Structure 1
Amino acid sequence: MNLEKIRKEFPVTEELIFFDHARVAPLPERVRKVVTEFVDDATRFGTAHYETWMVGIEQARKSFARLINAETDEVAFVKNTSEGLSIVANGLDWKSGDNVVIPDIEFPSNVYPWWNLKRLGVETRMVHAIEGRVLFDDLVKQVDARTRLISISSVECNSGFRCDLNRIGAFCKEKGILFCVDAIQSLGLLPMDVKRDHIDFLSADGHKWMLSVEGLGGFYISREVLEKVYPVTVGWGNMVNAADYMN
């Protein structure tokens, strides 16, 4: 590892000792270069290179899928973590009396989408964290026959506690409960394997450890549960043959 070469990727190190990646990471040179090249291209040539842009998008999609061990058609781009989690919350066929289980130390992105289901009669059950730790036994105590989904952060934002996704995912699979993960605090820093950990849904913005610009994140939905989520936002780009809209 060439530390000096890595430091040159981050001009921020010339001015600061930066410890705030867990909130918003400084952009590396390669990201600045790509963003600048796109803006310059669009400014000078308009949409002349549109097809090239689309190739780049598909390459990014494949890279994101590879990062979490998913298939390319299981991932999509979202503007932030909240949007991905809201796709799940608003797309499932909830029944009055269903419940969702989440820790009580979650960032609002993984709270408000579930609270918003109260109007449908869905209860959000909060698991009390002990000194910032979410214990597995405390989590499962909140589960009953009406639990439809457990949603948790891979790493808790306030404490840095690393949740045992594999154990929780195996429990959910055994009980027929959907498993949703807010991965923003770990993705790009810690390994992520949605297949190994039996994760049904995953959402993460890119502006932390993935070193992306704000407003761009990744969303995963397992093929096994895809048909359970109704698309609540539909546009022309959602279609199989999107460009063939005149027919």
Structure 2
Amino acid sequence: MDLAPVYYDVEALRENEFPLSKEFTYLNHASISPLPQRAEKAAHEAITHLANNAFAFWGEQVVPIFNQFLEEGRRYLNASETNEICPITSTSAGLNAVANAIQWREGDQVILCDVEFPSNVYPWLAQERHGVEVKIVPAQHGTLTVELLEREVTSRTRLIAVSAVQFFTGAKANLHALGEFCRQHDILFAVDAIQAIGHMPINVEAMHIDILASGGQKSLMALTGVGLLYVRRSAADKMIPSSIGPNATEDWEFWLHYNPKPLEGAHRFMSGTFNVPGLFTVVESLRLFEELGREHIDAYTTALSTLAIEKLVEKGFTVLTPYASQYHGPIVTFQYAT
């Protein structure tokens, strides 16, 4: 196959942002990504500022980068408002915060498939102590599909959880179709996006996503210990966080008021302080994705992975990743029997 048109200078990108590519070809983004040079520089400058100007760190660094993080996250996901965006430390932390805040009813049901990474399984399994049934169904085409949901959903189904791109096979979920199904059936739709942000466009409004979490170290190309949580305002305002700190409350500026009423939207999940250097890396990487064009990145990386699948099959490898480009992301998994 011919590669999709390239809308940006790949060689210049490697030269300017990823110096490790001068020495070898890096293929391990599904585990941990290299930082773009601009992200490394921004994080280093933040740390240097703290070392030399600690008295001004909050006003000159923390507040501005926090607001930039909210706006860049909102823009990238097409969220309605910035208070639907919240910094987190990891995908697990984000999904746990939400799972523990939903006001479950005895007999509520969560549905997910049997190839999910544990970060998108354990937070839901933990709700069994509240009488929630977690139904794990065999994957179809390597992921969760509407066809599966049509067979499995009941009147008790409260939430559907899926990875936008599966960590092991690279199978890509049809988020538009799943989101529309959930909207029609009044079911919460939760997405683990750690293998997708940066690789493919995600529009939480068009896809009817209610909850989305992504750690920073994979396709987001940021530091570990930082990430992004989205919770739709209408869903968030019905949740009661199990972990709360002053930054997540209405009276966060009045320390002796002791008013635990949570902030509106996803900001109710900001129970602690922020990984400031990490926020800088998220912001810079999101800006890089916007400069390159999300659709352009998606077309190019999908074309590369499709080409890899073709060549692996030609050489006798067994490819576990779905072949058709609409069914796979940039991850390619294969095996070879000697």
Shorter-chain TM band? over 0.9
Q: What is the match of residue 57 of structure 1?
A: 66
Residue 96 of structure 1 is matched in structure 2 by: 106
Name 1:40's counterpart in structure 2.
48
* 2:255 is the alignment partner of 1:245: yes
For residues 223 and 120 of structure 1, what CA distance do their matches in structure 2 show?
Answer: 24
**Paired residues of 2:112 and 2:144 also in contact (CA < 8 A):** no
Matched, 1:136 2:146: yes
* DSSP-derived class of the 1:60 partner: helix
2:87 paired with 1:77: yes
8 Å Cα contact 1:82/1:110 also seen in 2: yes
Where 2:48 maps in the other structure, the secondary structure is helix
What whole-Å deviation, never above 9, does each CA across 1:172-228 have from its counterpart, x for those lacking one? Answer: 111111111111110111000000011111111111122100111000111121222
Determine the C-alpha separation between the residues in 2 that align with 1:135 and 1:75.
Answer: 27
Q: Check the 8 A contact 1:207/1:214 in 2, yes or no.
A: yes
Question: Any unmatched runs of 5+ in structure 2?
Answer: 1-7, 258-338
Q: Distance in 1 between matches of 2:105 and 2:234?
A: 21
Amino acid at match of 2:13: I
Give 1 or 2 for the bigger CA radius of gyration: 2
Question: Is the Cα contact below 8 Å between 1:133 and 1:159 reproduced in 2?
Answer: no
Q: Does 2:11 match 1:4?
A: yes
Deviation of 1:21 after TM superposition, in Å, equals: 1.0
Tell me how many residue pairs correspond in the alignment.
Answer: 247
Give the TM-score, by structure 2 length.
0.70
Q: CA deviation at 1:92?
A: 0.9
Distance 1:36 1:198, change over 3 A: same
For residues 101-132 of structure 1, give each alpha carbon's deviation from its aligned partner in whole angstroms, at most 9, with x where no partner exists: 00110000000011111111111101201452
Task: Calculate the TM-score normalised by the size of structure 1.
Answer: 0.95
CA distance in structure 2 between the aligned counterparts of 1:216 and 1:163, rounded to whole angstroms: 24
Aligned pairs for 1:166-185 within 5 A: 166-185=176-195
Q: Which moved more, 1:210-219 or 1:232-241?
A: 232-241
Shift of 1:90: 0.5
Shift of 1:166: 1.1
Q: Which residue among 194, 199, 202 is the counterpart of 1:192?
A: 202
Q: Which ranges in structure 1 are unaligned for 5 or more consecutive residues?
A: none
One of 140, 159, 162 as aligned partner of 1:152: 162
| TM-aligned CA distance change 1:203 to 1:34, over 3 Å | same
The whole-number CA distance in structure 2 between the counterparts of 1:27 and 1:227 is: 35
Find the counterpart in structure 1 of residue 129 from structure 2.
119
Q: What is the root-mean-square deviation of aligned Cα atoms in Å?
A: 1.4
Task: Give the distance between the partners of 1:118 and 1:137, measured in 2 at CA.
Answer: 26
* Aligned residues with identical type, % of pairs: 36
The separation in 2 between residues aligned to 1:87 and 1:241, in whole angstroms, is 21
Question: Aligned letter for 1:119?
Answer: R
Please tell me the residue identity of whatever aligns with 1:90.
N
Partner of 1:13: 21
CA contact (8 A) 1:151 1:181 kept: yes
Alpha-carbon separation, structure 1, partners of 2:141 and 2:173: 14
Residue aligning to 1:67: 76
The CA distance in 2 between the partners of 1:102 and 1:179, in whole Å, is: 11
More displaced 10-residue stretch of structure 1: 105-114 or 119-128? 119-128
Contact kept? 2:144, 2:162, Cα under 8 Å: no
- 1:209-228 pair list within 5 angstroms: 209-228=219-238
Please list every run of at least 4 consecutive aligned residues from structure 1 whose deviation after the TM superposition is greater than 4 angstroms.
none
Displacement after TM superposition at 1:241 (Å): 4.5
| Aligned-partner Cα distance in 1 for 2:119–2:213 | 10
